[in-house]
């Protein structure tokens, strides 16, 4: 699901999660699961009611929302619901790939761009040398949105390996490699940025 988040951001779409949960609990959950998006509190499930996902529960203060996804257009375009999916239970979730396809379709997009930073060998050694626990940072960024999403430039051995496997995954899934660009921090080479693109039929 994590790589799907960055694909969603790559489409210029903000992602938020809403639940009947206290901010303190959301803070703990967000840190524990290292979630990059905001978690919003919906006490009394008022937003769930407004979006027809409300589901009564016992006791009543634990009322919940059915799992739902809503794509809301920009304010400039009138903030209408462009796509929604609500399942009766959590077993009826949409798969991550399907979400991206639905968004592309609803937004009328044809091209999807993903860029992956793959650390250099020296960068890997440097990072492994200064071993970090717990792992921080994201190995993956999306073209054009890098400053907006505040991507960390630190890599751990674990997510550097994930960057390699991500490049392989994209290539195997039929994405076209557009550019490979060496990246530097001052004089020091930090690796290469692989930019992939695919056209959606």
Partner 1 sequence: MSAIGTWLPGPTDFDGRESMLGKDAPEFQLRDQEGNNVTLRRLTRTGPVLMHQYRGNW
Residues interacting with partner 1, by CB under 8 A? 8, 12-21, 23, 26-27, 30, 38-42, 46-48, 50-53, 55, 57, 62, 64-76, 78-88, 90, 99, 103, 107
For residue 92, say if its preceding peptide bond is cis, omega within 30 degrees of 0.
no
State in angstroms the smallest separation of the CB of 197 from partner 1: 20
State in angstroms the smallest separation of the CB of 184 from partner 1: 30
State in angstroms the smallest separation of the CB of 119 from partner 1: 30
Looking at the Cβ atoms of 73 and 183, the one nearer to partner 1 is: 73
Segment (H or E) for 23: helix 23-32
State in angstroms the smallest separation of the CB of 126 from partner 1: 32
Q: Give strand pairing partners of 140.
A: 116
The burial of 200, by beta-carbon neighbours within 10 Å (0-12 exposed, 13-18 middle, 19 or more buried), is given as: exposed
Looking at the Cβ atoms of 52 and 95, the one nearer to partner 1 is: 52
How far is the C-alpha of 79 from the C-alpha of 175, rounded, in Å? 32
3-state secondary structure of 190: strand
């Amino acid at each position: 699901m994590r790589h799907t988040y960055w694909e969603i951001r790559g489409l210029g779409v903000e992602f938020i999660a809403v639940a009947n949960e206290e901010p303190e609990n959301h803070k703990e959950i967000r840190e524990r699961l290292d979630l990059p998006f905001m978690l919003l509190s919906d006490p009394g499930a008022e937003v769930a009611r407004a979006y027809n996902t409300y589901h009564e529960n016992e006791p009543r203060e634990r009322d919940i929302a059915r799992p739902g996804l809503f794509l809301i257009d920009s304010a400039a375009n009138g903030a209408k619901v462009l796509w929604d999916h609500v399942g009766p239970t959590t077993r009826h979730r949409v798969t991550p790939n399907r979400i991206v396809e639905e968004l592309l379709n609803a937004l009328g997009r044809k091209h999807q761009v993903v860029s992956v930073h793959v650390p250099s060998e020296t960068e890997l050694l440097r990072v492994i040398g200064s071993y970090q626990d717990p792992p921080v940072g994201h190995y993956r960024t999306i073209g054009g949105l890098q400053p907006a999403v505040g991507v960390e430039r630190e890599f751990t051995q674990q997510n550097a390996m994930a960057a390699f496997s991500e490049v392989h995954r994209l290539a195997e899934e039929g994405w076209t490699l557009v550019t490979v660009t060496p990246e530097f921090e001052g004089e020091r080479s930090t690796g290469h940025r692989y930019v992939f693109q695919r056209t959606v039929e």
